[in-house]
């Protein structure tokens, strides 16, 4: 399953670098917590602050997020007034998710935090109360994996197929004007 995702990812990257010259900008539009079906073990209390939409708040992991869980990552793009399935739609184990995906493309860099910052520190992601202040996601290594416009990412943590919490965010990709 992860190979399928990787293929889609590489394909998009190739398409993007060959067809786009412009730089792009990523803006967070919203970020919200996803509750569990019967219990919520991973609680995100995050807000976007100010014009720069800095990610701020706390995250509570009531148990270790270890390999007994699965992470589901789904993307959607907003097209012609509807959310349609995006290229990324995978279910993988947490270590793989944090090491190969989160740390590479979505690592939140706060000015102050007690969150783990490296892949090995996130494997397993230990139970705890975490906080972060004024976080930004570095997009400098991003291939434009997503469509221009609005994109939604939904990350849920599953145990035996049941959602036990997660987070969803919407970002807007804006291509910067390039002068000829
Ligand atoms: C930002 O997050 C920190 C840490 O969780 C919190 O103490 C602070 O009140 C938050 N600031 C705002 C404006 O929400
Ligand atoms: C998953 O949810 C269903 C429906 O609420 C429940 O019957 C089942 O016991 C849950 N499984 C686990 C492992 O908690």
User: What pLDDT, in 10s, does the model give residues 62-80?
Assistant: 999 999 999 999 999 999 9
Q: Which residue carries 């219990």 as its tokens?
A: 39
Please give the average per-residue pLDDT across 157-172, as a whole number. 95
Is residue 62 included in any domain, yes or no? Answer: yes
Long-range contacts of 110-117 (CB under 8 A, 24+ apart): 110/55, 110/134, 110/135, 110/136, 111/135, 115/59
Q: pLDDT value at position 11?
A: 42
Judge if the beta carbon of residue 133 lies within 6 A of ligand 1: yes
Span from the CA of 38 to the centroid of ligand 2 (angstroms) = 8
Q: pLDDT value at position 3?
A: 45
Q: Measured between alpha carbons, how far is 130 from 135 in angstroms, rounded to an integer?
A: 13
Q: pLDDT value at position 141?
A: 66
Contact 165, 32 (CB under 8 A): no
CATH classification of the domain holding 102: 2.70.220
Which of 157, 158, 160, 161 gets mutated to test ligand 2 (max ligand atoms within 8 A of its CB)?
160
| Domain around 166 | 2-175
DSSP annotation of 12 reads H
Which of 48, 133, 135 gets mutated to test ligand 1 (max ligand atoms within 8 A of its CB)?
133
Query: Which carries the bigger pLDDT value, residue 2 or residue 108?
Result: 108
Span from the CA of 162 to the centroid of ligand 2 (angstroms) = 6
Count each helix (H run) and each strand (E run) in the chain, helices first.
Answer: 2, 10
Number of domains in the chain: 1
Is residue 111 included in any domain, yes or no? Answer: yes
Please give the average per-residue pLDDT across 101-128, as a whole number. 92
Closest Cα to atom 8, ligand 1: which residue?
57
The model's pTM is 0.82
How do residues 12-44 score in pLDDT, each as one tens digit?
443 343 334 456 677 899 999 999 989 999 999
Closest Cα to atom 13, ligand 1: which residue?
49
Is residue 118 included in any domain, yes or no? Answer: yes
Q: Measured between alpha carbons, how far is 24 from 179 in angstroms, rounded to an integer?
A: 14
Residue 136: which residues within 8 A CB-CB, separation 6 or more?
52, 54, 55, 108, 109, 110
Is residue 180 included in any domain, yes or no? Answer: no
Q: pLDDT value at position 140?
A: 66
């Amino acid at each position: 399953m992860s190979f399928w995702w990787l293929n889609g990812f590489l394909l998009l990257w190739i398409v993007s670098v060959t067809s786009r010259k412009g730089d792009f900008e990523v803006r967070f539009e919203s970020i919200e917590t996803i509750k569990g079906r019967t219990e919520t073990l991973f609680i995100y209390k995050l807000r976007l602050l100010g014009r720069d939409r800095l990610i701020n708040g706390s995250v509570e992991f009531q148990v270790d997020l270890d390999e007994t869980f699965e992470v589901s990552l789904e993307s959607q793009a907003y097209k012609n007034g509807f959310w349609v399935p995006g290229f990324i739609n995978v279910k993988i184990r947490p270590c793989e998710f944090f090491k190969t995906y989160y740390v590479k493309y979505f690592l939140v860099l706060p000015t102050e935090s007690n969150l783990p910052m490296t892949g090995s520190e996130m494997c397993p992601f230990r139970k705890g109360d975490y906080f972060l202040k004024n976080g930004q996601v570095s997009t400098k290594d991003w291939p434009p994996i997503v469509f221009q416009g609005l994109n939604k990412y939904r990350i849920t943590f599953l145990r035996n197929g049941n959602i036990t919490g997660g987070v969803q965010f919407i970002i807007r990709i804006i291509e910067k004007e390039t002068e000829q």
